[in-house]
Amino acid sequence: MMNTLAYRVREALRKDAPVVGEMWRELMQLHATLDPHFCVSDAGEALYRRHTEEMIRSRDGKVLLAETVDTGHPIGFLLAEIHARPLLPEGGDYGLISDIFVRERWRRQGVGRALFEAAMHWFHARAVRSVQLYVSEANPDALAFWHAVGMRPYLRVLQKDLSTPEDAL
């Protein structure tokens, strides 16, 4: 079913941090259904809200909020950061898309792409040399989205659980 309501993407304000934290928790709950490693601590949402506020205030952070035009109801967000890479020969700054989330009802409506494009404009204006992100191997929808917007594999993160004695060996 297509949504008939229009949406807009804007910079998040400090007052938006609680709703961004709520959507981040929804994102983590979605990921937890795909992979149990995405379990969030009791303090996780509060810590994420604090981080969101820091990124809103930071020159090197950008928090974007997608909302409905008529009611201002939040439907998605993207958190981006700029980092320096002084130790590699190419040097320069690179962008990191830390998190992106679109509420289920609004997925496949262009909201994620609009958030991504707004972040790309910001990165371009800041003259970053590349953009990176982490994506869960267990999330085929996210992998498909990132490939559709032109992201390609660069590094692979490998993990070994050490939570039980037999895993540690």
Query: What would the pLDDT profile of 139-153 be if each residue is shown by its tens digit?
Result: 999 999 999 999 998
The domain tally of the chain equals: 1
CA distance 86 to 32: 35
Give the pLDDT mean for 71-78. 96
pLDDT reading at 164 higher than 80: no
**18 in any annotated domain:** yes
Compute the distance between CA of residue 44 and CA of residue 141 in angstroms, rounded to an integer: 24
The CATH number of residue 71's host domain is 3.40.630.30
Q: How far is CA 141 from CA 13, 17, 103, 129, 138, in A?
A: 29, 26, 14, 27, 9
Mean residue pLDDT of the chain comes to 89
Main-chain phi, psi angles of 63, to 5 degrees: -115, 120
Query: Residue 68 — pLDDT band, cuts 50, 70, 90?
Result: very high
Domain presence at residue 62: yes
* Structure tokens, 124: 């371009």
Residue 86 belongs to some domain of the structure: yes
Could you list the residue range(s) of the whole structural domain that residue 109 is in?
A: 7-150
Residue 42 has pLDDT above 50, yes or no: yes
Burial of 169 (0-12, 13-18, 19+ CB in 10 A): exposed
